[in-house]
Chain A
Amino acid sequence: MKLAIRRSLVAAVLLLAARGSFAAVGVPVSVEDLARGSDAVVRGKVTGVSARWEGTRIYTFTEVDVTSVWRGSAPARIRVATPGGVVGRIGQRVDGAAVFAPAEEVVVFLAKGDGGAFRVNGLAQGKFAVRDGTASPDLAHTTFLAKEIATGERRSEEMSVEELERRVRSIR
């Protein structure tokens, strides 16, 4: 009898634990591909975030003090434009765009953009938040296509800052 009880409990626990198995899986571009397609890749700290209208669209402009340039060239302070934000009573959401937080330490894959501001290459995949030596993109709002990553390369996902830097710098 005790064996039957134990078996039932084990089965119940296994079923409860299976919750995570339904997690969504996307296969995005690799860090290496992002680096290849970027005009610059920098590490830095967010010093200011503000939003304004650009025609019919709201863009959020993020000032980043660059502490190191991993690829390409960039000035000591850059301005990055991302779609979406709030101005007055009106807000715009553009799911999939990178979001910066004040004072956040970041690694950003940059593309030269219109209006004198950089854009984030790869949308949210091209911006990593750095905390405790770990770099993490926020991919919650990105719709991914299943796509193979080249052997030896790694998709845009959480990894150590050291590994991220090594992968970016490995691209010639």
Chain B
Amino acid sequence: MRALRAILALATLTAAAHASAFVRMTTAPQHPDQGTCLWWRPRSLTYVVNFSDFKGQGCSDTVARSALVQASFQAWAAATRAGAASPCTDLAIAFGGESAVTEVGYRQNGANVNLVVYRHGSCSDPTVVVDPNDPCHATIGACATKYNCWDHGDGGLTANTLALTTTSFDANSGEILDADVELNGWSGNTSTTNGVVKATSGWYFTCAGPDKGSCGDPPYGQTGCNWVDVGNTVTHEAGHVIGLDHACVAAYPPPYDSCPAPSPVMAPTAVIGETRRRVLTSDDVEAVCTIYPAGQPTKTCGSTGTSTASATKAAGGGCSTAGQGSLLALAGLLIARCWRTARRSSDLASP
């Protein structure tokens, strides 16, 4: 009987401890259990958008493109817990307008801007950077700025990365100083191999939703899929911008490896044509509202930080999920039932 009580207690405690699954970025990449959490000091951020080289379906006008990017950031700023009437965070993320900026990174002694930029094809694609003798090749990253191309070594037909966020931070405090999002977009160019027309690099983004376009059409020639949704992608990257790491990473040590259902926006997977990640899940809401709670100091963690030092570690204070927590709780209930049944049986047997 004591053993059953212990199991029940363990299950209940585990369920309680795993209230959420989100994971925070830290100063130690690939080690959410080490370093200092990344966080923004101001509660009001501004970003600009450069989609001037955008090639895609349903986003032919700048208004539509900007609207979807704005909605992606606003999803985080408007995070509201289920049943609540108002957002549980006061983090404001303002659209600063369209921009011609292509430079990603951080200027130590200059003005910085948080950027969302659409790269049109790979810098290694000769149809994008036409001149192999261009002086930009002498400096890493210079061609990306000059030609607004994707310079992360995975261009061409082996392209696998939709987007990347570069986050600049104070290595001591973890304070985020700048964050830029690059989308690995299509160059508009195609090549033909054995009669099959394919894109030479990048992905074909769309704002139109899953009902428009088909990857069965050239240049991709895949069947049963749609284009990559801008909203789906930018909402995920916006999570990185505010300091969130991926959730649902099995390679992370517990409790950072847990994963809720439904799969959060910050899960490291995406499906062509998917749009559901335009909307935050309860775990994503918990993430932004735990770190930047309305009317309360920012939660930091690790050695130095600022504001309020939280007792929580990099994983959302615990990390795990509603889904998993529910399972654990259900398991606890089953064990409780088992215990009650056993106790009843035992009581009946008592003299």
Which residues on A are within 8 Å of B, measured CB to CB? 1, 4-5, 8-9, 11-13, 15-16, 18-20, 22-26, 28-29, 33-34, 36-37, 54-59, 81, 83-84, 86, 88-97, 99, 111, 113-115, 117, 119-123, 125-126, 138-148
Residue from the list A99, A121, A145 in contact with B30, Cβ < 8 A: A99
Report yes or no: A24 in contact with B158, Cβ–Cβ below 8 A: no
Question: For the complex, is B206 an interface residue (Cβ under 8 Å from A)?
Answer: no
Report yes or no: A111 in contact with B153, Cβ–Cβ below 8 A: yes
Q: How far is the CA of A25 from the CA of B52 in the complex (A)?
A: 33
Which residue from chain A places its CB closest to the CB of B35 in the assembled complex?
A91
Report yes or no: A142 in contact with B106, Cβ–Cβ below 8 A: no
Which residue from chain B places its CB closest to the CB of A55 in the assembled complex?
B141
Question: For the complex, is B246 an interface residue (Cβ under 8 Å from A)?
Answer: yes
Q: How far is the CA of A57 from the CA of B156 in the complex (A)?
A: 23
B315 smallest CB distance to A (angstroms): 13
Q: How many residues of B contact A (CB 8 A)?
A: 83
Question: For the complex, is B130 an interface residue (Cβ under 8 Å from A)?
Answer: no
Please, which residues of chain B bring their CB within 8 A of the CB of A145?
Answer: 160, 162, 203, 228, 270-272
A124 smallest CB distance to B (angstroms): 9
Q: How far is the CA of A121 from the CA of B271 in the complex (A)?
A: 22
Binds A, one of B55-63, B66-74, B87-95, B329-337: B329-337
Q: How far is the CA of A154 from the CA of B142 in the complex (A)?
A: 34
Residue from the list B25, B38, B269, B342 in contact with A144, Cβ < 8 A: B269
Report yes or no: B330 in contact with A15, Cβ–Cβ below 8 A: yes
B38 smallest CB distance to A (angstroms): 7
Report yes or no: B341 in contact with A83, Cβ–Cβ below 8 A: no
Please, which residues of chain A bring their CB within 8 A of the CB of B142?
Answer: 55, 114
Given A8-B335, A24-B259, A125-B160, is A111 in contact with B103 using a C-beta cutoff of 8 Å?
A: no
Mark contacts of B149-173 with chain A using CB atoms, 8 A cut-off: 1 yes-contact digit, 0 otherwise.
0011110111011111111111110
Report yes or no: A96 in contact with B164, Cβ–Cβ below 8 A: yes
| A-B CB contact pairs (8 Å), 8 listed | A16-B11, A33-B157, A34-B158, A90-B171, A140-B252, A141-B246, A143-B270, A146-B269
Residue from the list A34, A86, A92, A147 in contact with B166, Cβ < 8 A: A92
Q: How far is the CA of A20 from the CA of B331 in the complex (A)?
A: 15
Which residue from chain A places its CB closest to the CB of B179 in the assembled complex?
A93
Report yes or no: A144 in contact with B160, Cβ–Cβ below 8 A: yes
Q: How far is the CA of A88 from the CA of B169 in the complex (A)?
A: 11
Question: For the complex, is B133 an interface residue (Cβ under 8 Å from A)?
Answer: no
Report yes or no: B269 in contact with A90, Cβ–Cβ below 8 A: no
Question: For the complex, is B305 an interface residue (Cβ under 8 Å from A)?
Answer: no
Which residue from chain B places its CB closest to the CB of A125 in the assembled complex?
B160
Binds A, one of B76-84, B260-268, B294-302: B260-268
Question: For the complex, is B212 an interface residue (Cβ under 8 Å from A)?
Answer: no
Q: How far is the CA of A34 from the CA of B331 in the complex (A)?
A: 44
Report yes or no: B104 in contact with A23, Cβ–Cβ below 8 A: no
Question: For the complex, is B187 an interface residue (Cβ under 8 Å from A)?
Answer: no
Q: How far is the CA of A144 from the CA of B25 in the complex (A)?
A: 19
Q: How far is the CA of A81 from the CA of B333 in the complex (A)?
A: 53
Beyond contacts A122-B154, A141-B30: 9 other A-B pairs, Cβ-Cβ < 8 A, are A9-B338, A24-B267, A91-B171, A95-B164, A96-B161, A125-B154, A142-B160, A144-B269, A147-B160
